[in-house]
């Protein structure tokens, strides 16, 4: 008897798509799983309280408050998601020994040893982020662009420390470490000087990048943002600023686009191929904004699928560093994490099973009528059966069956916290 997968495979083959090859390919594409969904972006080096223009909303019980809890929760997520993973760690998640603490400008590789052990045991690389928020040295909402040189110096030292830690991650795991620079620097209301803070921001980033590192191992990025809560009128790290920064320092850093960080009718799916014309490599933060940069859990919606399609169509799976960036505190956090990771996997698999060569040909021959007809047809192909096969091969449930595991974990572990 024909299984559902075999029948789907035939349907896709008729369009020139090899579903076995798509499944095999996806298994080896790493996606970075952000540690900060587990505890509402708090970390372990501060008393709690998120600042810097980002916010979590909700108070669902059972959040991780210790490294042990966070790592156990992450492990649960990893066990429920198909595909290759990388860890994405923020500097505020340094794990100190009992009674030990150092400030962010003094962080060392040893403070991240537990992350390395965790990653190595699971065969994963690690990405990293200096934390330029939730800290008293973020003064007047500013860090690397502050007019006070002492404030800037503290944060430059933090950035340099993070480059050294990123090198440690890359050397220990054997996988390049993407190190993303994002600050919430900006102003609530109309500024009197827009260029000054940007010039200071530019010089500060250049100083951070003057710390010696091997660009084959450490991939510094600059992430832009259009506005944040409390910084509605101006951000120092605007899109033009970060893109120019990356373009002018191509041998030292990459542009990072977060799809929550643009005006609502702009789409990152269209920006990916634009940047790929110029940059050998780019980085992404994948999220879902609802009316604003709200960092809702990623779902399999149209723009999510479109972004994945562009990466695949441009044959750029090895040129785009993909990281998830959402945080919802209003629902079970393990479930939120898992839904988001699985959504991006579904989007990638869908993209890999799309007959891109055939569609491109229609476009190049100016067959726009047929292109529309075919693109609409593609939406109804039996992706579900390919997804089920992929999940089976990865040893995870294909449908909501994984949620029973989360409920059990909530009863046995989370509810006792
Ligand atoms: C904030 C940026 C940034 C953060 C993480 C925690 O708007 O997207 O990437 O979400 O660094
Ligand atoms: Zn981001």
Residue that has been written with the tokens 């990893």 in this structure: 78
Q: What is the CATH number of domain 23-352?
A: 3.20.20.150
Residue that has been written with the tokens 């080896």 in this structure: 28
Ligand 1 pocket check for 182: Cβ under 6 Å: yes
Q: What angle do CA 354, 84, 319 make, to 5 degrees?
A: 60
Residue 49 has pLDDT above 90, yes or no: no
* Per-position b or e across 396-415, b if 16+ CB within 10 A of its CB: bbbeeebbebbeebbeeebe
- Short-list 247, 287, 255, CA closest to 271: 255
Query: Which tokens belong to 174?
Result: 């054997």
- Catalytic site positions: 182, 223, 225, 258, 261, 285, 293, 295, 325
Q: What does the alpha-carbon distance between residue 132 and residue 144 come to, in Å, rounded to a whole number?
A: 8
Beta bridge partners, 292, equal: 290
Spell out which residues have Cβ within 5 A of ligand 2, the ion: 258, 285, 325
Task: Please write the tens of the pLDDT for every residue from 358-402.
Answer: 999 999 999 999 999 999 999 999 999 999 999 999 999 999 999
Half-sphere exposure of 408 (CA within 13 A, CB side): 6
Query: Which tokens belong to 44?
Result: 């372990």
Q: What angle do CA 344, 6, 348 make, to 5 degrees?
A: 15
> Is the distance from CB of 388 to CB of 345 less than 8 angstroms?
no
Mean pLDDT (the chain) is 97
Pocket test of ligand 1: the residue of 42, 184, 258 to mutate, having most ligand atoms within 8 Å of its CB, is 258
What was the pLDDT predicted at 111?
Answer: 98
% of the chain with per-residue pLDDT over 70: 100
Ligand 1 pocket check for 275: Cβ under 6 Å: no
Atom of ligand 1 nearest to the CA of 36: 6
Residue that has been written with the tokens 């709200």 in this structure: 294
Residue 2 has pLDDT above 80, yes or no: no
The Å distance, Cα 14 to ligand 1 centre, comes to 42
% of the chain with per-residue pLDDT over 90: 97
Q: What global pTM score does this model have?
A: 0.97
Ligand 1 pocket check for 127: Cβ under 6 Å: no
Residue 247 has pLDDT above 80, yes or no: yes
* Per-position b or e across 299-333, b if 16+ CB within 10 A of its CB: ebeeebbbbbbbbbbbebbebbbbbbbbbbbeebb
- Short-list 223, 282, 284, 288, CA closest to 254: 282
Ligand 1 pocket check for 39: Cβ under 6 Å: no
The Å distance, Cα 56 to ligand 2 centre, comes to 14
- Range with the lowest mean pLDDT among 46-55, 101-110, 282-291, 331-340? 46-55
Contacts of residue 103, defined as CB under 8 A and 6 or more positions apart, other chains included, come to none
The Å distance, Cα 281 to ligand 1 centre, comes to 20
SS3 content of the chain, % helix, strand, coil (to 5): 45, 15, 40
Q: What does the alpha-carbon distance between residue 126 and residue 89 come to, in Å, rounded to a whole number?
A: 7
Mean pLDDT of 92-120: 97
Residue 1 has pLDDT above 60, yes or no: no
The Å distance, Cα 64 to ligand 2 centre, comes to 21
Q: How far apart are the first and last CA of the chain?
A: 49
Cα distances (angstroms) measured from residue 51 to each of 41, 89, 279, 343:
10, 18, 32, 28
Query: Which tokens belong to 86?
Result: 């990388």
Task: Please write the tens of the pLDDT for every residue from 112-134.
Answer: 999 999 999 999 999 999 999 99
């Amino acid at each position: 008897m024909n299984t559902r997968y075999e029948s789907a495979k035939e349907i896709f083959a008729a369009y020139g798509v090899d579903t076995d090859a798509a499944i095999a390919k996806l298994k080896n594409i790493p996606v970075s799983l952000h540690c900060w969904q587990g505890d509402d972006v708090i970390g372990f080096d501060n008393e709690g309280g998120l600042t810097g223009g980002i916010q979590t909303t909700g108070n669902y019980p059972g959040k991780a408050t210790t490294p042990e809890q966070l790592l156990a929760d992450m492990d649960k997520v990893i066990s429920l998601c198909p595909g290759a993973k990388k860890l994405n760690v923020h500097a505020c998640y340094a794990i100190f020994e009992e009674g030990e603490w150092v400030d962010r400008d003094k962080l060392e590789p040893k403070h991240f040893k537990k992350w390395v052990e965790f990653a190595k045991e699971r065969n994963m690389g690690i990405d990293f982020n200096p934390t330029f928020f939730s800290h008293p040295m973020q003064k007047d909402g500013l860090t690397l662009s502050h007019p006070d040189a002492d404030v800037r110096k503290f944060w430059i030292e933090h950035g340099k420390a993070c480059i050294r830690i990123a090198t440690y991650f890359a050397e220990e795991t054997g996988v390049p470490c993407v190190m993303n620079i994002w600050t919430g620097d900006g102003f609530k209301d109309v500024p009197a000087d827009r260029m000054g803070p940007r010039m200071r921001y530019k010089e500060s980033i250049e100083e951070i990048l003057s710390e010696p590192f091997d660009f084959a191992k450490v991939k510094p990025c600059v992430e832009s943002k259009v506005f944040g809560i409390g910084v509605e009128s101006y951000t120092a790290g605007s899109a033009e600023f970060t893109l120019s920064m990356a373009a002018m320092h191509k041998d030292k850093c990459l542009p990072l686009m977060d799809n929550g960080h643009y005006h609502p009718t702009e789409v990152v799916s269209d920006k990916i191929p634009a940047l790929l014309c110029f940059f050998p490599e780019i980085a992404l933060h994948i999220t879902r904004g609802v009316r604003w940069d709200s960092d809702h859990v990623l779902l399999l919606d149209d723009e999510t699928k479109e972004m994945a399609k562009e990466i695949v169509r441009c044959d750029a799976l090895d040129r785009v560093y993909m990281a998830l960036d959402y945080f919802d505190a209003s629902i079970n956090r393990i479930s939120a994490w898992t839904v988001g990771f699985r959504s991006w996997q579904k989007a990638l698999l869908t993209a890999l099973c799309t007959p891109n060569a055939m569609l491109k040909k229609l476009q190049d021959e100016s067959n726009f009528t047929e292109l529309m007809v075919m693109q609409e047809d593609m939406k109804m192909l039996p992706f579900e059966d390919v997804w089920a096969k992929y999940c089976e091969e990865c040893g995870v449930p294909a449908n909501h069956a994984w949620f029973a595991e989360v409920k059990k974990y909530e009863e046995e572990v989370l509810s006792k916290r």
